[in-house]
Structure 1
Amino acid sequence: MRLRSLALAAAVCTVATGTLAATLSPASAATTGCSVTYQVTGSWQGGFQGDIAITNLGDAISSWTLGFDFPTTTQKVSQGWNGTFTQSGQHVTVTNMSYNGSLATNASTSVGFLGAWSGTNPVPTTFTLNGVTCTGGTTTTTPPTTAPTTPPTTPPATGAAPSLKVSGNKLVNASTGATVKLYGVNRSGGEFACIQGNGFWDGPMDQASITTMRTWKIRAVRVPLNEECWLGTSDVPAAYGGTAYQNQVKTYVNLLVQNGITPIVEMHWSYGQYTGNSAGCSDVKATCQKPMPDAQYAPSFWTGVANAFKGTNAVIFDLFNEPYPERATGDETSGWKCWRDGGTCTGITYQVAGFQSLVNTVRATGATNVIMIGGLAYSNNLSQWLTYKPTDSTGNLAAFAHIYNFNTCSNTSCWDSQIGTTAQTVPVSLTEIGENDCAHGFVDGLMNWADAHGIGYLGWTWNTWDCSSGPSLISDYNGTATNYGQGLKSRLASVSN
């Protein structure tokens, strides 16, 4: 998708200090309770540092999620440590890291963060742990002796997502050889929030949000990333770039894998100035969709991402969101050559990293993960994908297409000739599908076609935007479907496992 929602502006001002202690009682344990101490340990004009100490007073727990609300709308978390911080409006959620999730009775852990605010900086007054409000003491509960009459709404755990590989024209489970179709959603935010100085993500990216996704039977999540944020260039606010951004991405991707969901990590926005035909912006920074990856930063980005996830072949690499070099070069033939070979491409003022070079970059790290590449026309044109297909030493190369109601290739005859033909030779997935009218008539027909051809699909997007300005599947992060989103939700209920 080319257009993206703007993130919230960052808040700035002076700061006050405060401490709060509380206890809470998760109903899921026999004896539960904890103390929570929130303290401002440093302050400066426009920002502050907060520390939160948690002591488990009840039975041992193996994982935890802390929640609280800032009292004002201007208080923001900009960077955290010892936990994964996400913020939606005034609500902040912190989930444990792999090394501090287990807390025995009377054991403690602490998390910290850098924040910003304006006006006043009051202390949060209520905390929750694992969804239960702090009450000031421990509670002993007795499990019911009979089974509940209402079945659980969350699907049972299925274990970690499987390692994948290409076998002929199919994606398969590397261990069992079973065919894997990608059914799921895109999770936008990581491509724009950081470069705009508004955090790492757009909305919650924690265990609770993934649990909600699983109620839709989502089994694949595409995670758009920003090249400059990953590399931590000078164009990105330091709090949201480099190691801090990388750690956020790694945490979320690994959490998806642990929950049985296939992550697709992709480079969405990249560096390089382009002002030619169909330009999304005139900015040299990675703030919009460019026609091709740049040779300056893209190889370093993919070296870093491949090193981060090599050995975890449940993770798929999507090299670039939506190429459109033919808009710059003037015709499809020159566009496909630029697509594969890169270098100096007519009409593109920066040096291009062609997809052959990026495949080579990934494989040079030793990563054998499946690599996906889209076609021309914003990944809507696969007409010559097979002709210009890059070589891959591992044989783990797949194609993807994006299809919306406003695209050129938006009818069954085009899908048959381009996507269906390509899918006879290599695996093809529709990694973005959608329509911009808040309805689902178009995607229903598209999913009918895809189901008949054994092709999976991912809806754009699991974000709470106005679905009439851009396809948005949900109206809140409890998973309430928009009218458009209901079409995908209903279909996943019947085709996804």
Structure 2
Amino acid sequence: MFGLRSKTRHRIGAVAAGFATLAAGLVVGAGRPAAAETTACGVAYSVTGQWSGGFTAEVAVHNLGGDAVDGWRLSWEWPSGQRVDHAWNAEVTTSGTQATAANAGYNAAIAANGTVTFGFRGSWTGANTAPTSFALNGVRCADAKAPTAAQQVAAMQPGWNLGNTLDSTGSDETSWGNPRITKSLLDNVKAQGFKSVRLPVTWSAHTGPAPDYTIEPAYLDRVKEVVGWALQDDLYVMVNLHHDSWQWIWNMPGDRAGVLARYNALWTQIAAAVKDFGPKLVLESVNEPQFTGSTGVDQEEQLLHELNASFRDIVRGSGSGNATRLLVLPTLHTSGDQAHLDALANSFRAFNDPYLVATIHNYGYWPFSVNVAGGTRFDATVQKDLTDTFDRAYNTFVSRGIPVIVGEYGLLGFDRHTGTIEQGEKLKFFEYFGYYARTKKLTTMLWDNGQHFDRTAYTWRDPELFAQIKSSWTTRSGTAYSDLIFSAKSTPVTAKTLTLNLNGTRFQGLRQGTTDLVQGRDYTVSGDQLTLTAALITRLSGAREYGTNAVLHARFSQGVPWRINLVTRDTPILSNATGTTSSFAIPTTFRGDQLATMEAKYDDGTNAGPHNWTSFKEFDRTFAPNYTAGTTTLTSDFFAEIQDNARVTLTFHYWSGEKLTYYITKSGTEVTGTTA
């Protein structure tokens, strides 16, 4: 996990690609059909350029079996009567609608799990339909059809990250506080419904010096052990170079040869160690690539292209299962910005490899994702940021037959704890995230550094969150504008209206526990407006103690119910306080209310504190409520960017809509806070 974005623009020419991955009986010796045993092969046919009356194409023949092929002839039927005008790396002839490609002298042998490619320029009239049936050495490619990259990536949905473990930068996988990985953990991850596991691995602390950069055998064996456990559970598992990206790979602009040598040495060893694993092992070139000290984004894109190219060549050249293994290549910073997508698409076009996958990461619209700049709600801006990103990934890759994995997703506020974003707003984000990723055929892998799935109890720390995420894999759920309905204790109870987000569902009723509430008496519904009657709120609020008095669930025709908290509250009370820049807390009687965000301004109206481009400060990094202790803490990070002896006006915004003003002054390390 690492979140950076930058802007540049590249352009990719139109690519029309169609892959036919099929199986055939292979033979040893040109033109002689196999007598008894046959082995599978894959044929990938792609149109690399097309114009009026003409086109170019590339064909890759993959030997997926255990025996070498010595001499080959590939034949196919033209669906639209195309002709071949000129070929390279093969002799291609056409007779009527039948085409045959024969090996050149230098590429007659296809090693076990090896690949040979050839290309040609052709002509067409009326249509240029791609062939879908091939025969190798006279044996029709018809049996044991191998899945395409897109089919395999679709089978990986949904995915989960085993984060902050083998990717820790210490000497042991437990150095960041998570337990050692066990077979039982992976068994339980499988039981949650996941089809794939991303296994981030940081190699830096486990490699020897130049020039060999030998990986510690015990560490490599440990990675292989975990991979083996995942494969035994029939999970796809994706292994990468993780925090190496910012430990040493990012120095490539100033040490291109040194970084490339180390990178190549690692992938040479890893590829050799895993080449005999099955096809559900997937390899990812590098996590969140970034560079320091470059001349600009153009150089960074070129360096990433070199890394991806070297990775692909090393893995493919190692043979066996690596010849057609899925290889995952990231954009710069794993960004979904169009310029970075275009640059990676250019690389894909150059590689012309049907078993490549693109990857990006997504942690949502940044102000919402960390709760800064007033980004407290899952609103139209947050939604558009998400849809724009997924649309770009779909249009650039998926629509052209290249699958995309969102290798990490979540909210950046989770870096501290999952309470940075209010629960209902958080649930709406993940509901929409899963739905829209599904519509764009993106495979998603939840980032989990140990804060979501308990790795010893095998339970979810926030079951409601996971229920929403899991539901989004297959369907939509109804939600609402809020999950909080406030009634002031100091005033008589009145009816409250809540706007439902039906999301294509139908509202079916309101329930408290196992009791269905009565429409007309307890609530009314008009379109998307749900109104709770004053009588219902009065009855369920009981003695009207501060806080949540009752929990209701709105049920819809599909998906998970939407929780509605009936909360009794009054205006919070703040008190004067003194403290230091390292320890300052405002005594707060919350009286049932909940803090949403905080503004900070100097008396002249300018913004105070970190992120001074906005008056709204970052939740938890600069301020944090403690409802149990009855305090609102201001952090040392906040005071580090506050002027001495300049009064700061704080405005606290609560989820009920209440706003309170408070004043602080810092003098050296001493801090004074007052209500007036």
- How would you bin the TM-score normalised by the shorter chain? 0.3 to 0.5
TM, length-normalised to structure 2: 0.30
TM-score of the two chains, using structure 1 as the length reference: 0.40
Q: Which has the higher contact order (CA 8 A, sep 6+)?
A: 1
